[in-house]
Homo-oligomer: A and B are copies of this chain.
Amino acid sequence: MKQIVLALSLLAVPALAEPAFSPDVHPDGTVTFRLAAPKALAVRLTGEAGEVALTKGDHGIWAFTTPPLDPDIYTYTFNVDGVKVIDPANNNLKYNLMNSESQVAVPGPKSLPWELNDVPRGELHRHFYHSTVAGDDRDFIVYTPPGYKATARKRYPVLYLLHGYSDDATSWSGAGRANVILDNLIARGQAKPMIVVMPFGYGDTAVLKAGLTEVLPRVEQEYRVSARREARAIAGLSMGGAESLVVGLNHIDQFAYVGGFSSGGLNTNYVAQFPALDAAAGRKLSLLWISCGKDDGLLGPNEKFRDWLASKDVPVDWVETPGRHSYRVWRRNLAALAPLLFQTKN
């Protein structure tokens, strides 16, 4: 979260109304949430930092202090007399098409994948285009790793990274901190320098395939990316996990690495959805990585799909982590998957 330092000591900027200081992150990992709401009858904290009623104090300020929280980034909102309210004192916002929330970062060791380190930083490039297949105006975001040059001779491997339902093209770099995670892994030599493409993922199957026919050729024309399947990966979370499995496992000729995080929405008629997937096709994959949080309602469906893959002798890396359906899980998933990508030589 950025601190505003007044520009020009000489600037006489009009004072803005001061909301209650919130969230107040203490050195021991406890967090005090505050909201100025003198006329409200009831204020609750909701989200990943706790589900609890706030207590009204002086000057109509409602407050609650959590127990110590593990270092992480937590989403929360207030509920004021039944209405969802973003913390007006907090500019750390998790934007979402249907449910924007406030976020609070409890800082931790610099070794945590999402912490900002003093390392070379990659760049984010936002492209706008009219999709003839979807019939709308869309965007996609491309991460280029530190030192990337459009004039480089070298060609980079590329990860297509898909968002979840109600997210948009900015979600993986915003809430997901994908660029920070990649910067850190690359600086430590734990992941290969790679391009990451984050498209806008809504549409029917034709539109999804258009991700291949519209976005992929443009990426391969405008960026120094390899077109070899061994240098192409597709992965995503929730709806984007299902999309990655559907696109990746039906186009093993184009993607050698496929990942699904907490995937949601697969048709359970797997044979219809993956007609050509068998042991021989599976062996062509360098990696099929499927993960889910233990407390995610989608654990059962993901286990079921894993079991079907096993019954077909399709090799799969199954990863069960703590956590629910949350970017707290997905940031860790990306940090775990990226080092496994693009390790084959041919």
Contact = CB atoms under 8 A, between A and B. Distances in A.
Interface in A23-79: 35-41, 60
A317 interface: no
Interface in A123-158: 123-130, 134, 136-137, 149-151
Interface in A238-284: 239, 242-243, 246, 264-267, 273
Interface string A96-130: 11111000000000000000101001111111111
B126 A264 contact: no
A86 B60 CA distance: 20
A122 B129 CA distance: 9
Contacts of A243: 7-8
A203 interface: yes
A98 B16 contact: yes
Given A39-B81, A128-B121, A100 B96 contact: no
B82 A85 contact: no
Contact of A151 (B16, B118, B151): B151
By secondary structure, the A interface counts as loop
Interface residues of A, number: 77
A227 to B, nearest CB: 19
Interface of A: 2-14, 16, 35-41, 60, 80-86, 88, 91, 93, 95-100, 116, 118, 121-130, 134, 136-137, 149-151, 165-166, 168, 179, 200-205, 207-208, 239, 242-243, 246, 264-267, 273
Nearest first, the 6 A-B pairs at minimum CB distance are: A11-B265, A150-B150, A121-B128, A10-B267, A124-B126, A39-B81
